[in-house]
Structure 1
Amino acid sequence: MRHRTKTHLLTQEQIDNLLYRVEIGRLGTYSQDGYPYVLPMHFVHFDNKIYMHGLPKGKKIDNIKFNSNVCFEIDEMLSLLYKGVEDPCDVNTEFNSIILRGSASLVSNLNEKYRALSKIVEKFTPHLKDKELPEKMVKGTAVIKIDILDYVGRYYK
């Protein structure tokens, strides 16, 4: 294990803040053809779970039904660290990141779907958070939940 992976760990407060602030994460699933499948997704984090939404059909849905084990990654690149560096191989990146593993499922409980979609609206379109979500839209939207197994947050600066 590289030295920095042991010493550059985010605190729980920093992890919580990053999960709140960052808007896009990358969902990694297993495909039936044996290849990994990774795609960017808007998300919210609450109750120690990750929630995402999307179309009720497609490769990510098929993959989750095939194998519910997933990973999820978020990051933010803050800057390139090259001041005073003369060797291109010594340039580094200031960043924060979280990698988590968990079990994904499709939310079928209507109350849980409403709550997750309301949190998504609140995060991404707060000016619309007091608008009622149409039941037809809620029923027709896939909500994916990741029950978090474990995670690690790292930084470098």
Structure 2
Amino acid sequence: MKTTIITTRCEMEDILQRVPICFVGVTDLEGNPYVIPMNFGYSDGVIYLHSGPTGSVLDMLKVNNHVCITLSIGDELVYQDIQVGCSYRVKSKSVICRGNVTFVHDMEEKRRILDILMKHYTDYPVQYSNPAVRNVCIWKVPVDEMTAREYAAV
């Protein structure tokens, strides 16, 4: 079974564009890892996320805004020998991004970012009410570090 390090930013960004959900790792208030699945958008080296205006994760990020975001595509089960358990693996590609969260408060900037988020999921034109934009919490994560791997069968 072969694991290959993906080195080109273009291939890493291609994976980001194809993944429907990401997993965001933060540090909880006791110093333990805390991971949540989230919808996201990506543009120009920045991952955008959204949440409600309050919650425990936001409390955690106020104390420590460092995040690790994991994304993965592929679900084909492969093996070298059907009778050897350690020869099994899932053929996939993954990307790990690290950065620091800042929160966006400007209404027009929120709308622009919501467009990026929605574009990740649909080409259908959408609209946002002022109360919806006002009450959504927009997370902006400039990617400081991005690594990727491909887990293949050969």
Same fold (TM > 0.5): yes
User: Residue 79 of structure 2 contacts residue 88 of structure 2 at CA under 8 Å; is this kept in 1?
Assistant: yes
Match of 1:60 among 49, 52, 57: 57
Are residues 1:20 and 2:50 paired? no
5+ long unaligned stretches in structure 1? none
Q: Which residue of 2 aligns with 1:87?
A: 84
Structure with the higher fraction of residues in strand conformation = 2
**CA deviation after TM superposition for structure 1 residue 77, in Å:** 2.8
Match of 2:75 among 71, 74, 78: 78
User: Residue 80 of structure 2 contacts residue 87 of structure 2 at CA under 8 Å; is this kept in 1?
Assistant: no
- TM-score, normalised to structure 1, is 0.88
Match of 1:109 among 106, 111, 119: 106
Moved >4 Å (runs of 4+): none
**CA deviation after TM superposition for structure 1 residue 66, in Å:** 1.0
5+ long unaligned stretches in structure 2? none
Cα distance in 2 for partners of 1:40, 1:92 equals 23
Q: Highest relative contact order (Cα 8 Å, sep 6+), 1 or 2?
A: 2
Match of 1:155 among 144, 150, 153: 150
Query: How many correspondences in the alignment?
Result: 151
Paired residue type of 1:69: H
Structure with the higher fraction of residues in helix conformation = 1
User: Residue 107 of structure 1 contacts residue 144 of structure 1 at CA under 8 Å; is this kept in 2?
Assistant: yes
Q: Which residue of 1 aligns with 2:127?
A: 132
Q: Which residue of 2 aligns with 1:33?
A: 30
Identical amino acids, percent of aligned pairs: 28
Cα distance in 1 for partners of 2:93, 2:46 equals 20
**CA deviation after TM superposition for structure 1 residue 84, in Å:** 4.0
